[in-house]
Amino acid sequence: MANSFDAVIIGSGFGGAIPALRLAQANKKVLVLEQGRVYTENDFKQTWDLKYLSNMMSITTSDDYAVFFRSGMVLGGGSVVFSGLMNRSPSEVFQFVDYNGYRVWPDAVNRQALDPYYDMVESMMQVRQVTWQEVSKTGGMFAKMLDNAGLTCDRARFPYVNCRECGFCEAGCIYGAKQSLMHNYIPQAQAAGVEFRTECRAMLIQPVSTGYTVQYTGPDDSMSSVQGTIVILAAGAIYSPELLLRSKQYLPQLSDQVGKNFNNNGGLRFGLELPEGLPSIECYKGRDSAAVMTYAFWKDYGITIEAGTNPASIFSLNVHRPGSYGWGLDFKHWAKSVYPSRFIIANIMGPVTGEGYVHLKNDLPAVNFPMTKNLSDYINRVIAPIGAFAKINNAILLQTMPSGYMYSIDHMLGTCRIGDDPAYSPADPSGQLRGYPGLFVSDSSSIPCGTGVNPSTTIAANAERIAASIVNNW
């Protein structure tokens, strides 16, 4: 039947495109539903115009409007708009124990088990470590500051081929240098027979005798339905639980953990205002990342830090000095004195679990992301060493998020997490939702805690692992 498939996959980001290819290679008939449209190099623009960006990203706010969450909403999902940092999670991440004393990753999933899948992802996406020649001035300055403090740094890893370092990765790469999923998994999946229906938003999932029915709205807003022997949810950490929560009337045995344990990958962002008198770092130049990171705080504080580049629009959005406004004449004078010559953004990531949750408000997804004691303890713990690092370099540390102002989060994880204990994890280690054979999660929602680094490589490797397990157990 035209609308019956072996597998229906919802979402075409890392969690969706990867199983799509692997199942098609195993001769399964696969359909991918993607709510976004197709963007090619010809459609991308080098601009930070919010109107343009909002066509490629979906934005959800927290209940208190303090935070907004950005994710890709195009064929290829987040891979099309991401900054391209692709590092493997350190081994210790997979041993992480949460506030309840629960070891969140399944016993069977650790760095060693994931390494062959990391290899596959890196080979498919041509991920490699940048050379020092490719590090921006900002990255070089960050490396020098670490060296001044007796700390080490690493060059970051990217899926870029012939990158021109124009700095518009998050707006879509007009040069085709960024090897998003549109360059590898998706065309290969299409060649292997996968059907991608874009501008199709899945709305409801319902079990039937032969698997599951998925109802979706098409480009003309009309409702259609398809059937899959299995269904794989890969809509991201906000939208996969949204779908499950909306479908709860048909999925009554769903774990009450669906939507819970929301975390932001331990993401914090600090500004470093450098002292006067140094050569200008021209902090908007380079990729969307300064391409240098450090693991020097990993052992003692469980965090990594990546230096970011800084387009002017992002600068004014993100930077707030204590006791001052992030706008007005005073801000303008200060901004002119530090931008772009002596300002570095430092992105912190660490393995945390979250106490936020996704819920439905007027049938739309919403996120409750409170500043809990555990989150504020985490922030206080990591501020101290970074403050000391800034001081050694005569730099001023500015906390930019969370800071009471609105801020953005791009790394959402954990809302349908895999795990060994049914009390804490809605999905078993194979990604199958408990109580619902054939219904899987394979995206960021399945990742049980912060990945210690940017999360996409671990999401992708885990999706490869889940796809292999589905194929092997078919």
Ligand X SMILES: Cc1cc2nc3c(=O)[nH]c(=O)nc-3n(C[C@H](O)[C@H](O)[C@H](O)COP(=O)(O)OP(=O)(O)OC[C@H]3O[C@@H](n4cnc5c(N)ncnc54)[C@H](O)[C@@H]3O)c2cc1C
From 69, 64, 81, select the one nearest 408 (Cα to Cα): 69
Number of residues that bind ligand SF4 (CB under 6 A): 13
Nearer to ligand X, 59 or 191 (CB): 59
Q: Return the residues of window 144-203 that contact ligand SF4 according to CB under 6 A.
A: 160, 163-169, 173, 175, 177-178
> How near is the Cβ of 207 to ligand SF4 at its closest, in Å?
43
Long-range CB contact pairs, 25-29, < 8 A, 24+: 25/192, 26/471, 26/474, 28/471, 28/474, 29/4, 29/5, 29/193
* Residue 160 partner contact from ligand SF4, ligand X, none using kind-dependent CB cut-offs of 5 to 8 Å: ligand SF4
> How near is the Cβ of 455 to ligand X at its closest, in Å?
5
> How near is the Cβ of 173 to ligand SF4 at its closest, in Å?
3
Nearer to ligand X, 211 or 236 (CB): 236
Nearer to ligand SF4, 173 or 245 (CB): 173
Nearer to ligand SF4, 134 or 420 (CB): 134
What radius of gyration, in Å, describes the C-alpha atoms of the chain?
A: 22
Which residues, other chains included, contact 254 with Cβ-Cβ below 8 Å and sequence gap of 6+? 244, 248, 426, 433, 435, 436
How many other C-beta atoms can be found within 10 angstroms of the C-beta atom of residue 188? Answer: 17
Nearer to ligand SF4, 153 or 290 (CB): 290
Nearer to ligand X, 170 or 273 (CB): 170
> How near is the Cβ of 278 to ligand X at its closest, in Å?
27
How many other C-beta atoms can be found within 10 angstroms of the C-beta atom of residue 191? Answer: 10
How many other C-beta atoms can be found within 10 angstroms of the C-beta atom of residue 286? Answer: 26
DSSP state, 378?
H
Instruction: State the residues that interact with ligand X by CB under 6 A.
Output: 10-16, 33-36, 57, 70-73, 77-78, 81-86, 170, 201-202, 234-236, 239, 243, 410-411, 443-444, 454-456, 459
Name the residue with tokens 């807003």. Answer: 221
* Residue 411 partner contact from ligand SF4, ligand X, none using kind-dependent CB cut-offs of 5 to 8 Å: ligand X
Compute, in degrees rounded to 10, the torsion defined by CA atoms 137, 162, 174, 191: -140
Distance CA 321, CA 324 (A): 5
> How near is the Cβ of 471 to ligand SF4 at its closest, in Å?
32
* Residue 462 partner contact from ligand X, ligand SF4, none using kind-dependent CB cut-offs of 5 to 8 Å: none
* Residue 81 partner contact from ligand X, ligand SF4, none using kind-dependent CB cut-offs of 5 to 8 Å: ligand X
* Residue 157 partner contact from ligand SF4, ligand X, none using kind-dependent CB cut-offs of 5 to 8 Å: none
* Residue 173 partner contact from ligand X, ligand SF4, none using kind-dependent CB cut-offs of 5 to 8 Å: ligand SF4
Nearer to ligand SF4, 37 or 285 (CB): 285
* Residue 34 partner contact from ligand X, ligand SF4, none using kind-dependent CB cut-offs of 5 to 8 Å: ligand X
The residue within the footprint of ligand SF4, chosen from 88, 201, 246, 287 (CB under 6 A), is 287
What are the angstrom distances between the C-alpha of 185 and each of 77, 182, 351?
A: 12, 7, 28
Distance from CA of residue 281 to its chain's centroid? Answer: 28
Nearer to ligand X, 98 or 443 (CB): 443
Partnered with residue 249 across adjacent β-strands are: none
Do the beta carbons of residue 247 and residue 206 sit within 8 Å?
A: yes
What are the angstrom distances between the C-alpha of 315 and each of 20, 207, 210, 272?
A: 38, 48, 52, 12
* Residue 465 partner contact from ligand SF4, ligand X, none using kind-dependent CB cut-offs of 5 to 8 Å: none
**Helix/strand/coil for 107:** coil
Binding footprint of ligand SF4 on the chain (CB under 6 A) = 160, 163-169, 173, 175, 177-178, 287
